[in-house]
C-alpha cells in the first residue's frame, strides 16, 4: 500500500475512529485502526466488538492499493504533532512508514487479515434527524446517564420514538433529563437503549457542522448512525429502561421562575462551601426571592439571595449542586421554571423547548 494525502484530512478522518480502540483488551489487535486504500480513497475502520466505526476519505492519491493496521494511540499522537501539509504513507509487511518531508516514522501494526471483519447489520427501520438537532439532544441528556457500572441498566440513553416524535432520556436514578424533537421516522413506535459511550463517540466523530441529516437505523440488537462519510454501528443495551414517565411530576405545590444564568452563577458560588460527605445546597423559596445556602463544617458557610417569582407557598428543598449545574450549563433559556412540592418529592425544571429535567432532592437535611 502506498498513498499520498493531505495531513489535515487524514488527521480529521483518523480522529473519527481513533477513540474507539480500547486501552485495555484481551485482544490487543483491536488497539489498531485498519486502513484500507483503493480507488483513490481510503477507509479507516476501528472496533472494540461492541462499537465500530468507519470513515471514508476521498481526495487521496492511492499509488498502490492495500491494507495496513496502524496502532491507534501512537498514530493519533503522531498526526497531532506533524505540521507538514502532505504526507506519504507506505506499508511494508505489517509496518507503515509515514513520511512528512522533515522526517520519517515507522509504526508497527499487526496482520490486517487477523483484524475483525466489519459487523453485519440487520437494521431496516430508519429515522432521519438533522445532525445538529440530534447532537444537541445528546448533550442535553447524556450527562444524566449513570456512570457507575452498578447501574448498567441505565448506562445508556433511551431513544423513544412515537408518531413523528423522538424522545431522548437519560437517568442515573437520582436525576432524569428528557428532551424531544419532531423527526421523520414513520408511524410505528420504537424504543432502544443506546450505550452512552456510543453517543459520546458519535459526538466526537461528527462535530457540529451543518444541517446534514443524520440517519439512524435500528436493528434488533444493533443501531447504526450514518452521516456523510462516517458510519457507526453499535450494540444496543438490554431494553430495561425504568418507567421514566412515572417519575416526572405532573403537579406541584409551587411554580417558580428564575434567571438561569444568575442561578448558575450563584449556585457555583454557594457550592464552594458545600463540600462535605454530601454535596448539598439548600434552596428556600420565599414570596419573591430564592435564598441559597450551604455549609461545610470546619470550612465555612455561604448565604445568598436572588430574585425569583414564586407562585405558591415556596418552601425548602436541597439539591446536589453539581447535578443542577450539569443541566443549567446546557440550557439556553433566559428564564427557567421550577416546579416543586417538598423536600421529599422530585422537582421539575423546564430548561428549554422540549427540555425537562427532574431532580430528586437530598432528604434529611
Partner 1 sequence: MAEHRTILHADLDAFYAAVEQRDDPRLRGRPVVVGGMGRRGVVSTASYEARRFGVRSAMPGSEARRRCPDAVFVSPRMEVYLREAQVVREVFESLTPLVEPLSLDEAFLDVTGSAALFGDGPAIAARLRAEVLERTGLTVSVGVAANKFVAKVASDLRKPDALVVVPAGTEAAFLAPLGVERLWGAGPVTVDRLRALGLATVGELADFPAQLLAARIGERAARHLQCLARGEDDRPVVPDREAKSISRETTFERDLRDDEACHRVLLELAESVGRRLRRAGKRSASVRLKVRFPPFRTVTRQAAVDPPTDDDLQIAALARRLLGQVRSSRQPVRLLGVGAAELIDGDVPRQGSLFGEDAPAVDPRRARLTQAVDDLRERFGDGVIRRGG
Please report, as ranges, the residues that interact with partner 1 according to CB under 8 A.
148-151, 171, 173-176, 242-243, 247, 276-278, 280, 318, 320, 344, 346, 358, 360-365
Do 53 and 16 contact (CB within 8 A), yes or no? yes
Q: How far is the CB of 166 from partner 1 (least distance, A)?
A: 22
Task: Evaluate the CA torsion angle 40, 44, 45, 51 in order and state its sign.
Answer: negative
Taking the C-alpha atoms of residue 190 and residue 185, their distance in angstroms, rounded to an integer, is 10
Q: How far is the CB of 178 from partner 1 (least distance, A)?
A: 12
Indicate the SS3 state at residue 330: helix
Q: Name the residue nearer to partner 1 (CB basis): 202 or 281.
A: 281
CB neighbours (10 Å) of residue 130? 15
Taking the C-alpha atoms of residue 168 and residue 180, their distance in angstroms, rounded to an integer, is 6
Q: Name the residue nearer to partner 1 (CB basis): 7 or 151.
A: 151
Q: How far is the CB of 182 from partner 1 (least distance, A)?
A: 27
Quick one: cell of 9?
Answer: 484530512
Q: How far is the CB of 331 from partner 1 (least distance, A)?
A: 20
Q: Name the residue nearer to partner 1 (CB basis): 42 or 358.
A: 358
Q: Name the residue nearer to partner 1 (CB basis): 115 or 323.
A: 323
277 Cβ contact list (under 8 Å, min separation 6): none
Taking the C-alpha atoms of residue 268 and residue 14, their distance in angstroms, rounded to an integer, is 37
Q: Name the residue nearer to partner 1 (CB basis): 32 or 142.
A: 142
Quick one: cell of 191?
Answer: 424504543
Q: How far is the CB of 162 from partner 1 (least distance, A)?
A: 22
Amino acid at each position: 500500500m502506498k498513498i499520498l494525502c493531505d495531513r489535515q484530512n487524514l488527521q480529521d478522518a483518523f480522529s473519527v475512529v481513533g477513540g474507539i480502540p480500547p486501552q485495555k483488551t484481551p485482544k490487543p489487535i483491536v488497539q489498531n485502526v485498519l486502513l484500507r486504500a483503493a480507488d483513490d480513497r481510503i477507509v479507516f475502520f476501528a472496533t472494540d466488538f461492541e462499537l465500530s466505526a468507519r470513515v471514508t476519505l476521498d481526495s487521496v492519491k492511492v499509488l498502490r492499493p492495500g491494507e495496513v493496521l496502524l496502532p491507534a494511540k501512537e498514530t493519533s499522537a503522531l498526526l497531532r504533532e506533524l505540521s507538514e501539509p502532505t504526507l506519504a504513507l507506505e506499508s511494508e509487511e505489517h509496518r507503515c512508514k509515514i513520511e512528512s518531508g522533515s522526517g520519517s516514522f515507522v509504526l508497527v501494526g499487526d496482520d490486517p487479515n487477523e483484524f475483525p471483519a466489519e459487523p453485519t447489520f440487520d437494521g431496516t427501520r430508519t429515522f432521519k434527524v438533522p445532525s445538529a438537532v440530534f447532537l444537541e439532544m445528546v448533550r442535553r441528556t447524556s450527562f444524566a446517564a449513570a456512570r457507575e457500572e452498578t447501574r448498567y441498566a441505565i448506562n445508556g440513553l433511551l431513544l423513544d420514538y412515537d408518531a413523528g416524535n423522538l424522545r431522548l432520556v437519560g437517568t442515573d436514578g437520582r436525576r432524569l433529563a428528557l428532551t424531544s424533537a419532531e423527526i421523520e421516522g414513520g408511524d410505528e413506535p420504537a424504543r432502544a437503549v443506546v450505550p452512552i459511550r456510543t453517543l459520546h463517540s458519535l459526538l466526537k466523530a461528527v462535530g457540529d457542522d451543518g444541517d446534514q441529516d443524520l440517519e439512524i437505523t435500528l436493528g434488533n440488537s444493533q443501531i447504526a448512525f450514518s452521516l456523510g462519510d462516517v458510519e457507526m454501528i453499535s450494540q444496543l443495551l438490554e431494553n430495561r429502561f425504568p418507567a421514566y414517565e412515572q417519575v416526572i411530576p405532573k403537579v406541584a405545590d409551587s411554580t417558580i421562575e428564575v434567571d438561569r444564568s444568575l442561578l448558575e452563577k450563584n449556585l457555583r458560588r454557594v457550592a464552594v462551601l458545600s463540600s462535605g460527605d454530601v454535596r448539598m445546597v439548600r434552596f428556600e423559596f420565599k414570596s419573591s426571592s430564592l435564598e441559597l445556602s450551604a455549609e461545610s463544617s470546619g470550612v465555612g458557610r455561604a448565604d445568598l439571595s436572588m430574585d425569583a417569582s414564586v407562585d405558591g407557598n415556596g418552601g425548602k428543598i436541597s439539591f446536589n449542586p453539581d447535578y443542577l449545574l450539569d443541566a443549567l450549563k446546557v440550557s439556553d433559556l433566559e428564564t427557567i421554571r421550577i416546579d416543586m412540592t417538598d423536600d421529599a418529592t422530585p422537582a421539575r425544571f423546564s430548561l428549554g423547548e422540549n427540555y425537562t429535567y427532574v431532580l430528586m432532592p437530598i432528604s434529611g437535611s
